[in-house]
Structure 1
Amino acid sequence: MNKKLNKRAKVVLLPQRHVQKIDPQRPAAEQIAASLKSAILEMSLKPGQIISETEVGNLYGASRTPVREAFTWLRDQGLIVTLPSRGNYVSKLSISQIEGAQFARASLEVAVAERLCEKGFSPDTLHEIEANLALQQEVVTSGIGAGFTTLDDNFHLALADAVGHPRISDIIQREKSYLDRLRFLSVNNMAHIAELAEDHRNIFDAIRSGDKTAARRLVRQHLHRVRETLSQFCIEQPEYFDDE
């Protein structure tokens, strides 16, 4: 891991949406872990930033035990790392993990598109995706990209669910988790968001028309944009990435 870690940044700078009051009816560790995971994926907690168990406990009004359980879960998810005698840090972005997840996701989503070209969409799925694409266009028109990542996720999961095998969407979601922080880095790039929204429309139209050749090409082109984004941010913000 890159040794240039930020010891000065404080978790108390988290936006309020990530610091919700603990619900006593639910396990505290689960709530703390979910809140911190959201903060990490949305880049409110930066890669390489120190994250103290004591600070987190004070922030959420929780005892040491649930905080340690939350940290163990985050460590298992690869979202934080613990360095002996130095503390806990938000993990840096791994180029190899991102590229591996992108390869797996592209392979699966091309297969999804091919299957849907053969199978077609149900009326309910057609309505769901058309509504999603309309909302994507509203985001592009408004110039405010904050809500686009959810629409992006829902579009791809709607395609996966339409195949009829629940495990497909589970695998896509799992692999996508390695890409989430990279996506949030580009959430304010409206030109990039407009390209993605146009890709989604073109992929949907190709699948609906049953054109496998076009659908394969468009899905690969769409998912290749992640590599372009990765290259861009490796140059612009190298401190967020592992020394790979």
Structure 2
Amino acid sequence: MTVLMKILGVADSTACFLRHEIITGKIPPGSKLNEVELANRYGVSRPPLREAFRKLEYEKLVNNIPRRGTFVTELSFDDCREVYFTRRTLECAAVDLLAKSGNRDFTKLSESVENLEHFAMPRNSDTTDLADYYGEIAGFHWDLVKDAGNRWLTHCYQSIASTLSRYQLIYLSILSKRSIEDHKIVVECMQEGRFEEAKKQLAEHISRVLNEMLDNI
């Protein structure tokens, strides 16, 4: 294994740890990332840490400012609106592609909804519980996009996934249990071939989630 391959392998692992700390809020928005401190915490050298920074900058989780350093990206109304507009566009496009595919087997999505129905929604709980609950919801939407079978659509969705996670994890505790019913309706509509209605319900769900979050920022 070459030195470069070793660095990239360590960088991936380091980026994973750092991504988790940023998404869960352990490292707050606006924080300056201290290379020495993080290198010691993760037990890595500076080159893979800097490569991890570059990976997270691509995901819009951090921002490198010349001669000042690397900072965790701030959260804002405008950013939240923009990323949710993108999310709604991509997921509705996925429904359109599924409609054209002729596929009516949405077993995996149905199972995700069933899992959500048996998952007690955490309120005033710790970050770990919220992360587990969000994982169930995020899995549903990921499956919806991947099932559409378009690699570029999946790539675009992946590029906003980390930012989506930041907003949803922070404000997840304010979301209503209506969210579970929304997911159930979307799947039922697709199973019955009513894709336009499924797309309408999905768009309304995403818009409602956005409005609830913006009201509580």
The TM-score by the shorter chain falls in which range? 0.7 to 0.9
Give 1:159's match in structure 2, choosing from 144, 153, 159: 144
Which residue identity is paired with 1:30?
D
Residue 137 of structure 1 pairs with residue 121 of structure 2:
no
1:22-66 C-alpha deviation (Å, 9 max, x unpaired): xx8972222112210121112221101232101001112222222
1:132-165 C-alpha deviation (Å, 9 max, x unpaired): 1111111136765432222222212222233333
Give the TM-score taking structure 1 as reference length. Answer: 0.72
Relative to structure 1, the CA distance from residue 142 to residue 149 in structure 2 (aligned partners, 3 Å threshold; closer, same or farther) is: closer
Gapped regions of structure 1 (runs ≥ 5):
1-23, 235-244
Relative to structure 1, the CA distance from residue 183 to residue 66 in structure 2 (aligned partners, 3 Å threshold; closer, same or farther) is: same
SS for the counterpart of 2:27 is coil
Q: Is the 8 A contact 1:148 1:193 kept in 2?
A: no
Q: Is the 8 A contact 2:7 2:47 kept in 1?
A: no
Which residue identity is paired with 2:158?
Q
Relative to structure 1, the CA distance from residue 233 to residue 59 in structure 2 (aligned partners, 3 Å threshold; closer, same or farther) is: same
- What is the deviation of 1:217? 2.0
SS for the counterpart of 1:51 is coil
SS for the counterpart of 2:31 is coil
Relative to structure 1, the CA distance from residue 81 to residue 200 in structure 2 (aligned partners, 3 Å threshold; closer, same or farther) is: same
Report the count of equivalent residues.
Answer: 206
Relative to structure 1, the CA distance from residue 201 to residue 69 in structure 2 (aligned partners, 3 Å threshold; closer, same or farther) is: same
- What is the deviation of 1:83? 4.3
1:183-241 C-alpha deviation (Å, 9 max, x unpaired): 0112334xx2522211100111111112234213201111102421441243xxxxxxx
Gapped regions of structure 2 (runs ≥ 5):
1-5, 124-128
Rounded to whole Å, the distance in 2 between the matches of 1:80 and 1:164 is 30
Q: Is the 8 A contact 1:139 1:145 kept in 2?
A: no
Give the TM-score taking structure 2 as reference length. Answer: 0.80
Rounded to whole Å, the distance in 2 between the matches of 1:116 and 1:65 is 43
Structural mapping, 1:180-219, within 5 Å: 180-189=165-174, 192=175, 194-219=177-202
Relative to structure 1, the CA distance from residue 130 to residue 34 in structure 2 (aligned partners, 3 Å threshold; closer, same or farther) is: same
Relative to structure 1, the CA distance from residue 215 to residue 72 in structure 2 (aligned partners, 3 Å threshold; closer, same or farther) is: closer
Residue 61 of structure 1 pairs with residue 46 of structure 2:
no
Give 1:34's match in structure 2, choosing from 8, 13, 16: 16
Rounded to whole Å, the distance in 2 between the matches of 1:198 and 1:76 is 34
Residue 109 of structure 1 pairs with residue 94 of structure 2:
no
Q: Could you tell which deviates more after superposition, 54-63 or 132-141?
A: 132-141
Rounded to whole Å, the distance in 2 between the matches of 1:72 and 1:146 is 25
Rounded to whole Å, the distance in 1 between the matches of 2:212 and 2:62 is 23
Relative to structure 1, the CA distance from residue 79 to residue 202 in structure 2 (aligned partners, 3 Å threshold; closer, same or farther) is: same
Relative to structure 1, the CA distance from residue 29 to residue 141 in structure 2 (aligned partners, 3 Å threshold; closer, same or farther) is: closer
- Matching residue of 1:241: none
Rounded to whole Å, the distance in 2 between the matches of 1:59 and 1:43 is 17
Cα RMSD, aligned residues only: 2.7
Q: Is the 8 A contact 1:139 1:147 kept in 2?
A: no
1:87-133 C-alpha deviation (Å, 9 max, x unpaired): 432110244343233223212322332443452423xx42x222211
Rounded to whole Å, the distance in 1 between the matches of 2:104 and 2:152 is 19
